[in-house]
Amino acid sequence: MLVSLHDEPPILVCADLQAEYLTPGRRHVILDGEAATSRCLDLLTLWRDNLWPVMHLKRIAQAAWFNPASRLTDWIPQAKPRPGELTFEHPLPSAYSSSRLVDYTSNIRSVRCVLVGFSLDETILATVVEGFHRSHRYQVVADAVACRQPGAADAAAYKQSVVNVIANFATIQSSAELIGTSGAVAV
């Protein structure tokens, strides 16, 4: 099914596009962060150009884990929310740990979201699973998500394993599959 410019498009959810995840040497540095960021920005531009709804998630936590007072928790400059775009801060991996997000989604008739961004193995996984149990539909754009560096494991295999788990709760698509040549979005 395609959503054209005249249909109600899904909400683009930009998960945790924060400087912390792109800073080398940091505990939560993201694997292939630049490639995923580029694809996220492409999709964000498409949504903004068409005036489609955009939601930004920002991970905040206790200072010992992910210091909310640090400038590293700031948005990646190009992905900074614009006026009129929704923003939700979440203290736990699931975005649903934000009571504001829970209130917002409870007032939407049909929650359909395209999910991109960081922390595939934390925020994205937890949000999709919890959303599934709330009957919310998610599409995860596989080439616009990334996860932190695993210990000594094969990073590509680790990411694929997480994507495989998420596929039990959401649709997995590439950005090329998501966006048709006509500019329509496949949902």
Predicted structure pTM score:
0.86
**Element spanning 37, H or E:** helix 33-49
58-89: pLDDT as tens digits: 988 755 455 555 666 788 889 999 999 999 99
Give the three-state DSSP class for 183.
Answer: coil
Check which CATH number belongs to the domain holding 37 and give it: 3.40.50.850
Alpha-carbon torsion (101, 84, 53, 74), positive or negative: negative
Number of domains present in the structure of the chain: 1
Where the chain has pLDDT below 70, the residues are 1-7, 24-27, 31, 62-72, 149-153, 180-187
Range of the domain at 180: 2-186
In degrees to the nearest 10, what's the CA dihedral of 61, 107, 56, 161?
70
How far CA 133 is from CA of 104, 109, 136, 161, 168, in Å, comes to 16, 16, 7, 21, 12
